[in-house]
Structure 1
């Protein structure tokens, strides 16, 4: 018997919560819901959900605090669905450990697509007990053992930093990576001055792998937040 993915919905607006729950259950997801951030933390520990859909404006504790409390306790993918649309709110949620961020109002197809990406990434992590030796996305290939990158079958030259950036994004394929996260991972510590350097390196990578860097099909800019490597 196929096990249905379990989705925890943390939302204090009852009509929205019901709307999300009904939409997901028609797609064969099993759902549990709560309007309390504190109860959500308990449910994460007791029910072990696969996906967590989290509002930030909760009646007891802020959603950001919920992320901080649960991030080290679960491998579930956290998708924030919030009316807060400022870049700093998105960056803070993602930096604290959220995997994705949708702004209300949102479309059901978009939410379902983000959930599918989250589940795919969970399954990849579970299947890859041994470190993979290569990565393939459309016509982009990375040979991790040889540190080689190919686009449309042709080997391309990347600087060491460019390679490390592409390797990092491939490991988090489909997830929005903030400027702060990328800079800390690549340079070891965060410095605001490195943001411009990051943009330069990303532009250089795009020139090498994209057919049209102005309309990228691999590396997407999340304005004011960071970058995302697409997931087919």
Structure 2
């Protein structure tokens, strides 16, 4: 398991909550637990956990209200529901809300561990998709809009960030001048403006990161060899 992952655990039964919380911590998760749906949502907003494990019977969670509320703005959090309800209605709701697992009580630790492993794999895959490496160490995180070069956070202005992200999202090809003009300058781009932008951005990126194809556009050069996750 990844030690940096945070879990929000919601369970009304105190004994079960302590037992499962201890098991999660033993699996190297950072655990915050509560028995209250209202407090759970406050903790979610405060901590932005990676994984939510929740009893379906917590008051605000009846009919998956809490999960629905979270899913309105967060498609990344991994959600596991624990329940003693086996109705088709709840299983269909679980599919609709993109739950990782719907675990029946009493909870099997092996089943919980398997569900958490799926969560971790999903998070790692999303992380790898959002991280674009220029070399072994320097990268841009599309999710966090963060550029790291020489172990330092590099600030980008609005146009620099938009231009870089445009190249990164189409890193398998050359992005044409017309695309750049449409996406970055709303069809009002001068050649001097693009040259100035590229010149300044190149100073912030690793050497030879941006390639110019004369009269066509620009291409980003990436290292497909990503660093392994820990």
Q: When the two structures are superposed, what TM-score results if normalisation uses the length of structure 2? A: 0.52
Contact 2:3 2:28 in 1 (8 A): no
Q: Report the CA distance between 1:73 and its aligned residue.
A: 3.2
Q: Give me the whole-angstrom Cα distance separating, in 2, the residues matched to 1:54 and 1:123.
A: 22
Q: Tell me, yes or no, if structure 1 residue 116 matches structure 2 residue 120.
A: no
Q: Which residue of 2 aligns with 1:52?
A: 52
Which ranges in structure 2 are unaligned for 5 or more consecutive residues? 133-230
What does 1:1-232 correspond to in 2, within 5 Å?
A: 3-62=3-62, 64-74=64-74, 75-129=76-130
For the pair shown, which has the larger CA radius of gyration, 1 or 2? 2
Alignment correspondent of 1:183:
none
Equivalent-residue separation in structure 2 for 1:118 and 1:61 (angstroms): 21
Return the offset for 1:3.
4.3
User: Which residue in the other structure is 1:146 paired with?
Assistant: none
Q: Deviations over 1:35-80 (max 9, x none)?
A: 1112211211110111100111113452600111111333210000
* RMSD of aligned alpha carbons: 2.0
> Deviation at 1:129?
3.1
User: Structure 1 residues 99, 126: closer, same or farther in 2, change over 3 A?
Assistant: same
1:44–1:86 distance in 2 versus 1, CA, 3 Å: same
Decide whether the 8 Å contact of 1:6 with 1:31 is kept in 2.
Answer: yes
TM-superposed CA distance for 1:96, in Å, is: 2.7
Q: How far, CA to CA, are the matches of 1:30 and 1:68 in structure 2?
A: 24
Q: What's the secondary structure of 2:66's corresponding residue? A: helix
